[in-house]
Amino acid sequence: MASLSSLTSLTYLSIQDCKNFKVDGFNLLMASNHKVLAVHNIIENYPRSVAADLLSELAVEITRSKKLLPPTAGSLLQLERLDVDSISVVLVAPVCRLLAATLKELVITCDREVENLTKDEEKALQLLTSLQELIFWRCRRLRSFPQGLHDLPSLRTLEAISCRKIRPLPKKGFPTSLRELSINECSRKLHNQAKKLNRRNLSVSS
């Protein structure tokens, strides 16, 4: 995978359901024109997360370095859409700081582990000040939305698809910027709560 780092004109990269895929040598910081990155495993008997490998390695490298990133470290600064299968590896402060300036869409696909966000993950999410769209798809253990959604100043769309254990809407509500809330194939309680929402400029589909 190291050779992908040299493809400087590459803007879209999707890695899906790759059982033995290795990320050794691939440096996201060197892929300067990336706009969309999708890295996830949907198949149940592929428990290993390539996204976890990729972003964990990135977080370690960022944390180790106490110097400013070089000008070539532009990949994540330009990334606009990220689709991964692990909440815990993307919502870490070092990664979110790099994503903060340009990331508009974050999709969590088939996270099989997380039930609720930790305090550190909630804090990391707050760094994504440019985030406009947040989607949770088939996160089978997730029991609640992030509690700090109301503090995301740019969030316009929130979706939950086939997340059957999510029960309550966030206690502190949603940001005033939110324009679309979509709940599909989730718990009856969540559907009922969504239908009862009555707020101007918010379209609810449930």
Domains of the chain with CATH codes? 4-204 (3.80.10)
With a cut of 50, list the residues of the chain below it in pLDDT.
Answer: 1-2, 66, 72-76
pTM: 0.84
Q: What is the pLDDT of residue 119?
A: 97
- Which tokens hold the place of 25? 């040598």
* Residue corresponding to tokens 């999707």: 14
Q: Considering only CA atoms, which of 154, 108, 164 is closest in space to residue 131?
A: 154
DSSP string, 173-205: ---TT--EEEEES--HHHHHHHHH---TT-EEE
Q: Over the chain, what is the mean pLDDT? A: 82
Cα-Cα-Cα-Cα dihedral sign, residues 167, 168, 170, 175: positive
Length of the chain: 206
Please say whether the beta carbons of 18 and 51 come within 8 A. no
**What is the DSSP code (8-state) at residue 30?**
G
Q: Considering only CA atoms, which of 197, 196, 132, 186 is closest in space to residue 161?
A: 186
pLDDT in tens, 140-171: 999 999 999 999 999 999 999 999 999 889 99
